[in-house]
Amino acid sequence: MHIAKNTVISLDVELSDIWGNTIQRSEEPVQYLHGGYGNIFPAAEAALEGRGVKDRVEVRLEPGEAFGDYDENLLRVEPRSRFPEALEIGMRFEGAAGDEDLIFTVTDIAEDKVVLDANHPLAGMAIKFSCTVVGARPATEVLNAIPAEELPDVVEQLVRAHEAGQDLVKAALEIAAERETPTEIPETAAAA
């Protein structure tokens, strides 16, 4: 099967810097719903289009195509007194930046100040996205027979998606892909 819109794809993924130093490797296959749903870097998704199982793809992603440019506005220096006594570099705290709630990481502690950074750890870096396709199946095979005990949770997720103005077919496909639960949906709806 070739990768196309509304296909559930399983990938073995490795991220490395542009010199080939491994940053992260998936321990188990990563799954996503192919078709422009925002579940994978767009440049990687474009490179995977039309590929098949066992194909290997490598894509260089510039910062804006990966984890974003480094934004100095997401750095904060706060008084040490605002934090718990047991504070270490790497600890994370939730905080607001304008209208957005963000997760800030402690990057430095000096005397009476704490430096916090809400940038992704890989922000500002060009990376190499390498993957091998280990599985591909139509999304319509993913959606059939959700166990009765899971139905309330699925319905709640769909209601939230509807309230947020999301396409319900897209939301159902994404929920099913996450659950790996087979459920038939009409082919006309899957093509929408």
Beta strand extents in the chain (DSSP E only):
7-17, 22-25, 30-34, 56-61, 75-79, 92-97, 100-110, 113-117, 127-138
Band (126; pLDDT cuts 50, 70, 90): very high
* Complete DSSP assignment for 13-57: EEEEETT--EEEE-SS-EEEEETTSSSS-HHHHHHHTT-BTT-EE
Q: Which of 53-57, 70-74, 156-160 has the lowest mean pLDDT?
A: 156-160
pLDDT of residue 133: 97
Q: Is 43 exposed, middle or buried (0-12, 13-18, 19+ CB in 10 A)?
A: middle
Distance between CA atoms of residues 102 and 20, nearest Å: 30
pLDDT of residue 101: 85
Averaged confidence pLDDT in the chain: 83
> Average of pLDDT values for 45-55?
96
Distance between CA atoms of residues 2 and 7, nearest Å: 9
Q: Does residue 105 contact residue 83 with C-beta atoms inside 8 Å?
A: no
pLDDT of 130-153, one tens digit each?
Answer: 999 999 988 764 445 466 567 677
Full set of structural domains in the chain with CATH: 1-70+122-139 (3.10.50.40), 72-117 (2.40.10.330), 142-192 (no CATH)
- Reduced to 3 states, what is the DSSP secondary structure of residue 71? coil
pLDDT of residue 180: 56
- Reduced to 3 states, what is the DSSP secondary structure of residue 2? strand
Look up the pTM and report it. Answer: 0.66
Residue 191 has pLDDT above 60, yes or no: no
